[in-house]
Structure 1
Amino acid sequence: MEITKTSDALSSELIVKAPLEKAWAAFTTKEGWESWFSDKVTSDFQVGSPLVMYFEGYGENTGTVVEREEHKSFAYQWHPGEGDWESRPVEEKTTVRFTIEPVDGGTKITMVESGFSKVLEARRPKAFEDNTGGWSYMMKQIVRWLEDDVRQSGSIKD
């Protein structure tokens, strides 16, 4: 999956052969989230709520839901890249925003992770590298889930 980079953001856009409702559930329900993204998640997916994600081989990363517009957009903030997420300052969090819209034959999904300019300069190149690879993998996973009902297996290290 192609990931586009700017000095501050990563983005990807794709069209899946799946209904809007299923795409929305992939971002806003435990079952949907765990089918393509983190191995486990704890959240009610409402604005202001924690989004506790566990990634096999990486550990736990806690984000916060910052936007939810029904069947249109969902966003959260988290610490990018690998490493000791909880020891990093809150100012270094990036924002991941998914927008969805119906199109002929399916749903268009746009992912933008922005705010890398807030990450310490020493950590920024690695955070970009880690998340570029991570999003490339995850966007493939969401297509497999939404189009073929194939749940993720293993970690992104595989």
Structure 2
Amino acid sequence: MLELKPIVFTEYIQAPIEKVWNTFVNENGWDPWFTDGMKMELKEGGKISFRWVRLTNGEIVTDSGYTVYLVQNKLWEFWWYEYEDGFRSRATMKFQRDDNKGTWITITDHTLVKNLNELEIRYGCAYGWGQMMVYAKTYIEKGLIII
């Protein structure tokens, strides 16, 4: 495996932490604003199933994962991006309330790549997280679904 620093994304969302948390961590996952049929078990060790159609030009793309840690309104850590040896990506989402009744969310992604030829996997994850944060912010703050 290549030793790479994690990719970190931070976004401010003008909404109470409970609303932001419930948008990201709920039984239906990131439907309807980012995924198409995502499901998650809301417990440590709980299974996660990802499904995309709209973002993949009509092709059904699925993946799986599981929750490592879950602390209400504070932290959700999970493994996902399944491959032959396990999972490629460990993601941590941290939620922090601020004095203006908004929420800071930080996503830290540790994507495992075996060699330089696999760097595109890491870049694809980075692109996806950035895209997902824009969609979430738009959905939470404006009530708009932009996919």
- One-letter amino acid of the counterpart of residue 24, structure 1: W
| 2:9 equivalent to 1:12 | yes
1:30-45 matched pairs, under 5 angstroms? 30-31=27-28, 33-45=30-42
Q: Is the 8 A contact 1:35 1:145 kept in 2?
A: no
Q: Distance in 1 between matches of 2:128 and 2:103?
A: 22
Tell me the distance in 2 between the aligned counterparts of 1:65 and 1:99: 14
Please state how far the C-alpha of 1:35 moved relative to its aligned partner.
Answer: 3.4
Number of the residue aligned with 1:147: 141
Secondary structure at the counterpart of residue 33 of structure 1: coil
Match in the other structure for 1:22: 19
Calculate the aligned-residue CA RMSD, in Å.
2.0
**Which structure 2 residue ranges, 5 or more long, are not aligned?**
none
Corresponding residue number in structure 1 for 2:51: 54
* Structure-2 separation of matches of 1:17 and 1:46: 27
What is the rounded CA distance, in whole Å, between the counterparts of 1:59 and 1:8 in structure 2?
Answer: 27
Q: Cα offset for 1:32?
A: 5.7
Structure 1 stretch displaced more, 136-145 or 7-16: 7-16
Amino acid at match of 2:40: S
CA distance in 1 between partners of 2:61 and 2:28 (Å): 19
User: SS of the counterpart of 1:93?
Assistant: strand
Please, what TM-score do these two structures have when normalized by structure 2? 0.84
Structure 1 stretches lacking a partner, 5+ long: 1-5, 80-84, 154-158
The residue type equivalent to 1:111 in the other structure is I
Runs in 1 of length 4+ with deviation above 6 angstroms? none
Could you report, residue by residue, the CA deviation over 1:86-142 in whole angstroms, capped at 9, with x for unpaired residues? x5211x42211110011122001101111x3x4321553111111121111111011
Does residue 121 of structure 1 match 2:115?
A: yes
In the TM superposition, what is the alpha-carbon distance from 1:144 to its structure 2 partner? 0.6
Q: Which has the larger share of helix?
A: 1
| Matched-pair contact (CA < 8 Å) for 2:113–2:119 | no
Pair 1:25–1:66, CA change in 2 (3 A) = same
Give 2:84's aligned residue.
88
Q: What is the aligned residue count?
A: 139
